[in-house]
Amino acid sequence: MNDFIFFFNQVVVNGISLGSVYALGAVGVTLIFGILRFAHFAHGDMMTMGAYIAFVLASLVAGLGLTLPLPTGFVVLPFAMVIATLIALGIDKGFYAPLRARGARPVTLLIASIGVTMMIQGLVRLFGGVQTRSFFETEPKGLIRIELPFEGVTRPISFTEPQLLLVIVTAIAVFALHFFLTRSRLGKAMRAMADNADLAKVSGINTALVIRVTWIIAGSLACLAGTMLALDVSLQPALAFNIVLPIFAAAIVGGLGQSYGAIAGGFLLGFAETLAVFNWAVLLRPFRDSFPDWFEIPANLALVQSEYKLTVAFVILVVVLLVRPTGIFKGASS
């Protein structure tokens, strides 16, 4: 039983928290792709930037000497999201809108987003420095342990407070997005534009507004995902750049342009990564008496070494692109 709890702590907890971050990021990527038809590569660095904004706000709040029941970084999140949204709108106005107005191809926008990536990275490192920081320098990181009321179980189910919050806000964000896209007028307009931009335009949908709303959602989701990731691990300049490819992989696996697909893809990749590096020998050990004598359980039965954890996402991506290029859910094509 202890081994199964170890499995739960290692795979289910980590898989859900990693999957939530991937899902939040991938939803933003996929929304932008659906509406604006280009792969927004700078999304990862918008996440990092959001996390840094939250960090600055959290430091300001901590400077006031307030004690809060929740992590400070989490409490200041709404304000950080507003700031990140404004920056996202500014980035669009400054760098993408002129190219769109010229009728540039999606590839040009993709290259422009690489430029934006580099600018954000440069600025984040310029102002934030290159060192790793933690949101929990002045306050303790809450650890939640659940003892199971079974006999012989000594190991508790454990996860951290940020992980719990991450799962909760992901669920809230997903449901909010779902209701926004299916119930509100603007959400329906967004879906119409994702289906057929020209048709949406001639039927009187304010496409400029839809584009603005897309950036608002994507920017705030990016800030949310980045901050939650930074709360879970630590804050460093390459925080989200390292996972921007798995996020794209999640969006593609789920079918670019499909919000629900992106969520599914995010969790799929999160679990695939944690399952691939999990040492399965742990689960075999309780049964070591029932195996014949000649059979020795190898010390390490992980499918891949943990150095290759991120590679799992790319391998899945390449396989999906080969076997089913539209993703699991049929994706939009440009």
Partner 1 sequence: MTLRYVVLFGALFALIVGVGVLMGLPFTLRLLVEAFAFALIAMGLNIQWGFGGLFNFGVLGMLMVGGFAVTFMSYPINEAFWISDGPIMLGQTLIAAAIGAVLIVLAHKAHRVGVTGKLRAAGIVLAWFVAYIIFRSQMDPAASYILSEAGWVGGLGLPVILGWALGGALAAFIAFFVGKISLGLRTDYLAIATIGIAEIVRATIRNTEWLTRGTLTVSPIPWPVPTPQAWQLWGATTSDSFIYARAGYLALVVALVIVALFLIHRAYLSPWGRMMRAIRDNHIAAGSMGKDVKARQLEIFVFGSVLMGIGGAILVSFGSIYDPSSYQPINHTFIVWVMLIVGGAGNNFGALFGGLFIYMVWLLSEPLAQALFATVSNWSVSMGWHAIPDINARSVQMRVFVLGLIITLALRYAPRGLLPEFIRRDQ
Chain residues binding partner 1 by CB under 8 A are 33, 38-39, 95, 98-99, 102, 104, 106-108, 110-112, 114-123, 125-126, 129-130, 245, 248-249, 252, 305, 307-308, 310-311, 313-315, 317-318, 321-322, 325, 333-334
Identify which of residues 74 and 271 has a Cβ nearer to partner 1 in the complex.
Answer: 271
Task: Count CB-CB contacts under 10 A for residue 312.
Answer: 20
Measured distance CA(93)–CA(203) in Å, rounded: 25
**Smallest separation (angstroms) from partner 1 to the CB of 262:** 14
**Smallest separation (angstroms) from partner 1 to the CB of 114:** 5
**Smallest separation (angstroms) from partner 1 to the CB of 93:** 12
Identify which of residues 109 and 224 has a Cβ nearer to partner 1 in the complex.
Answer: 109
Identify which of residues 161 and 273 has a Cβ nearer to partner 1 in the complex.
Answer: 273
Measured distance CA(38)–CA(36) in Å, rounded: 6
Identify which of residues 40 and 81 has a Cβ nearer to partner 1 in the complex.
Answer: 40
**Smallest separation (angstroms) from partner 1 to the CB of 30:** 12
Task: Count CB-CB contacts under 10 A for residue 168.
Answer: 12
Residue type, 139: E
Measured distance CA(213)–CA(252) in Å, rounded: 22
Identify which of residues 67 and 333 has a Cβ nearer to partner 1 in the complex.
Answer: 333
**Smallest separation (angstroms) from partner 1 to the CB of 35:** 14
Identify which of residues 89 and 99 has a Cβ nearer to partner 1 in the complex.
Answer: 99
Measured distance CA(252)–CA(334) in Å, rounded: 13
> Residue 223: which H helix or E strand, with range?
helix 207-232
**Smallest separation (angstroms) from partner 1 to the CB of 309:** 9
Measured distance CA(1)–CA(144) in Å, rounded: 19
Measured distance CA(177)–CA(166) in Å, rounded: 16
Q: Give the number of C-alpha atoms closer than 13 A to the C-alpha of residue 128, restricted to the C-beta side.
A: 26
Identify which of residues 115 and 286 has a Cβ nearer to partner 1 in the complex.
Answer: 115
End-to-end CA distance of the chain: 50
The total number of residues shown for the chain amounts to 334
Cβ atoms 140, 231 nearer than 8 A? no
Identify which of residues 39 and 223 has a Cβ nearer to partner 1 in the complex.
Answer: 39
Residues 6+ apart with CB under 8 A from 194: 34, 35, 257, 332
**Smallest separation (angstroms) from partner 1 to the CB of 326:** 10
Measured distance CA(96)–CA(99) in Å, rounded: 5
**Smallest separation (angstroms) from partner 1 to the CB of 274:** 17
